[in-house]
Chain A
Amino acid sequence: MDVIVEDVTQVWPGRGGASVVALDRFSHRFASRRFSCLLGPSGCGKSTLVQIVGGLETASSGSVRISDPALPGVTRPVGVDSVMVWQNLNLFPWRSVLDNVAFGLEMQGLTKAERHERAKSLIASVGLSGFEGHLPGQLSGGMRQRVALARALILERPIMLMDEPFGALDAQTKIVMQEELLRVFDETHKTILFVTHAIEEAILLGDEVIVMTARPGRIKEVLPVGLPRPRSLEMVNSKAFGALFDRAFHLIREEVMTSMAQQAMALEAK
């Protein structure tokens, strides 16, 4: 599925009548089966963008079109073909691992036997067999992350929207989860929009890195990542990776400075 974002602007009502422009005329074509990383300082509207693409927020102006490249010209409604993986996971704390993963199928009205069978095989595929009956609160951060991934994958939607999913993990767990996600991508070739503020992560995972500006969020530059697939962590040491990292770091540095200055001003204004 292609995701074509055109002139999307998001304005939040701010304090005292002033309004905050979170996203400013953002346009990009996220091509089908491509892994795109949105890289930017905090507050640049990258999370807002994926929520708009997922149909969970309505943009102030602009449009998002989802279409199958095989059927050009046919636009599908937003939200139907995509699924989110959230920064704070949003697992349902009262549901077991099994019932969290099966949630989407339950909403579709599948019988208990059907949905549990499929949920079990997905739980196995993310390496959590034996934990079906556990509650999310009983699991480690990495295991919870796998539950969230399985809960999204079970719906087999062609677009996956990931909002800093590994932001809260410790460094080692993060590496394991990145490898897990690369495996999923190589197997399923979904269209992935992946929000991050970690440069290394964006380059390691993405086919392209979209560097965003500080608020208001615009595209600063789109960096194509030419690294071959399947990707592996060893590539971090390659020359090509280093060059991409330098380029991205140079671009993002200015924006982070701007963002920090904005935050300082906002604090002073209080």
Chain B
Amino acid sequence: MTPGKTSFAGIVERAAPALVIVAVLVIWEMFVRLRGIAPIYLPPPSTIAVYLFRMLADGTIEFNLGVTLLRIFAGFAVAAFAGVTLGVLMGMSRIVARIADPWIAALYPLPKIALIPLLVIWLGTGEVYKIVISAITAFFPIVISTYAGIRQTDQGLVKAAQDLGANRRQIQMKIVIPAAIPSIFAGLHLGMGVTVILVVAAEMIGSSSQSGMGFLLIQSGQVMETEKVFASLIVLAVVGALIIKLQEWIDRKVAPWTAYRDEH
């Protein structure tokens, strides 16, 4: 579509990101080999690739990633359901908002990792602990965004609906909630981000289950298998990017109008 697409400058622009990645890998490889750096400190990319394929071949990655993803989706599902429900209720009822507000104000700024000792005492170090810590963390951005979205409904749309004969209940169901969807999705994106962080962190700290990408990372680190640490990090980065892409795809499917929402 751009006129420069087939021109030399256009080709350079499109190829540049991939070229830079290749260049970084080549420099890294040469730097490590020429300077004779020990692989415990910095393994060369080629070795990391070998380890990555080995870990994929013997199922280490598949198993641990699968377990981590299950925990992420479980924690996220709990947080999404609770957060969206409470956010909508707060937006619709002033009493609910007034009661919930001081709790959210007090608990939101608290670093949720600080709750780990308490949760371990209460819940032990099993699955429930990891799901609860990630759900608690993801809950706050979701509830706050949902509430904000409901409150910031364009009053022009509300008046227009009222003029066209909508009653209060119809305005809430047909106008206020759909109008809040972009905000709700923004909250869900933030919530998903922190769920990933918290699940991996919980797998690293005080988990008895000996599984998951966080466990794989910490275990490889403790025995100085730096190649496995890098391989695990690459897997986490790729999976994180895929989760974001998946969310964006769902957004477009569920609410295609958000692409045009600035010009209604």
Tell me the A residues contacting B by CB distance below 8 Å. Answer: 51, 54, 56, 79, 83-84, 86, 88-94, 103-104, 106-108, 135-138, 151, 155
In angstroms, Cα B147 to Cα A200, docked, is 46
The 8 closest A-B pairs by CB, nearest first: A137-B260, A93-B264, A90-B160, A104-B164, A107-B165, A94-B257, A90-B156, A107-B166
- Residue ID in chain A nearest B171 by CB atoms: A107
Within 8 Å CB of A151, what residues of B?
Answer: 164
Q: Closest CB of chain A to B156's CB: distance in Å?
A: 5
Q: List chain A residues, Cβ under 8 A from B163.
A: 54, 56, 79, 83-84
Tell yes or no: B253 within 8 A of A by CB: no
Q: Which residue of B lies closest to A141 (CB)?
A: B263
A260 → B minimal CB distance (Å): 26
Residues A83 and B164 in contact in the complex (CB < 8 Å), given A92-B175, A135-B256: yes
The secondary structure that dominates the A interface is loop
Neighbour of B165 across the interface among A86, A93, A104, A138, CB < 8 A:
A104
Identify which of B166, B167, B264 contacts A91 (C-beta below 8 A).
B264
Contact of A86 among B160, B179, B261 (CB under 8 A): B160
User: Which residues of chain B come closer than 8 Å to A106, judged between CB atoms?
Assistant: 174
Interchain CB contact under 8 A, B164 and A93: no
The answer to whether B261 and A137 touch across the interface, beta carbons within 8 angstroms, is: yes
Q: A88-B156, A155-B164 are in contact. Are A107 and B261 (CB under 8 A)?
A: no
A83 to chain B: which residues have CB within 8 Å?
163-164
Question: Is B159 in contact with A135, judged by CB distance below 8 angstroms?
Answer: no
> Nearest-CB distance from A81 to chain B (Å)?
12
In whole Å, how far is A258's beta carbon from the nearest beta carbon of chain B? 28
**A-B residue pairs in contact (CB < 8 Å), sample of 27:** A51-B159, A56-B159, A56-B162, A83-B164, A84-B159, A84-B163, A86-B160, A89-B264, A90-B156, A90-B157, A90-B159, A91-B264, A92-B157, A92-B175, A92-B264, A93-B261, A94-B181, A94-B255, A103-B166, A104-B164, A104-B165, A107-B161, A107-B164, A107-B166, A107-B170, A135-B260, A137-B259
Q: Closest B-chain residue to A93, C-beta based? A: B264
Q: Which residues of B contact A90 (CB under 8 A)?
A: 154, 156-157, 159-160, 264
Within 8 Å by CB of B178, from A88, A91, A94, A108, lies A94
The residue that B260 contacts in the complex, of A56, A89, A92, A138, with Cβ under 8 A, is: A138
**B contacts, CB < 8 Å to A:** 154, 156-157, 159-167, 170, 174-175, 178-179, 181, 255-257, 259-261, 263-264
Query: How many Å lie between the Cα of A176 and that of B95 in the bound state?
Result: 50
Q: Is the CB of A136 within 8 A of B164?
A: no
Kindly state the separation between the CA atoms of A46 and B20 in the bound complex, as whole angstroms: 61
Report chain A residues within 8 Å CB of B174. Answer: 103, 106-107
Contact between chains at B156 and A86 (CB < 8 Å): yes
- Chain B residues with CB below 8 A from A94, complex form: 178-179, 181, 255, 257
Whether B165 and A137, one on each chain, are in contact in the complex, defined by CB atoms closer than 8 angstroms, is no
B164: which A residues are within 8 A, CB to CB?
83, 103-104, 107, 151, 155
Q: How far is the CA of A175 from the CA of B154 in the complex (A)?
A: 29
User: A86 to chain B: which residues have CB within 8 Å?
Assistant: 156, 160
Bound complex: CA of A177 vs CA of B154, how far in Å?
26
**Cβ–Cβ < 8 Å partners of A135 in chain B:** 256-257, 260
Taking the closest CB of chain A, its distance from the CB of B227, in whole angstroms, is 49
Q: Which residues of A contact B260 (CB under 8 A)?
A: 93, 135-138
- Distance A54 CA – B174 CA, assembled complex (angstroms): 21
Tell me the smallest distance from the CB of B259 to a CB of chain A, in Å.
7
Which of A79, A103, A138, A155 contacts B161, CB < 8 Å? A103
Residues of chain B within 8 A of A92, CB atoms compared: 157, 160-161, 175, 178, 264
The answer to whether A93 and B156 touch across the interface, beta carbons within 8 angstroms, is: no
B173 → chain A closest CB, angstroms: 11
Could you tell me the distance in whole angstroms from the C-beta of A100 to the nearest C-beta in chain B?
A: 10
Cα distance, A130 to B115, chains bound together (Å)? 57
Cα distance A83–B166 in the bound complex, in angstroms: 12
Task: Assess whether B264 is in contact with A108, with CB atoms less than 8 Å apart.
Answer: no
User: Once the chains are docked, how many angstroms separate the CA of A79 from the CA of B170?
Assistant: 17
Q: Assuming A107-B165, A136-B257, what are 12 further A-B pairs, CB within 8 angstroms? A: A83-B164, A84-B163, A86-B160, A90-B159, A92-B157, A94-B178, A94-B181, A94-B257, A107-B170, A108-B165, A136-B264, A151-B164
Chain A residues contacting B167 (CB-CB under 8 Å) are 107
Residues of chain B with a CB closer than 8 A to A138's CB: 260
- Expressed in whole angstroms, the minimum distance between the Cβ of A190 and any Cβ of chain B is 15
B170, closest chain A residue (CB): A107
Assembly CA distance A106 to B178 (angstroms): 16
A118 to B181 Cα, complex, angstroms:
29
Q: Please pick, from A84, A93, A108, the residue contacting B257 in the complex, using a CB distance under 8 A.
A: A93
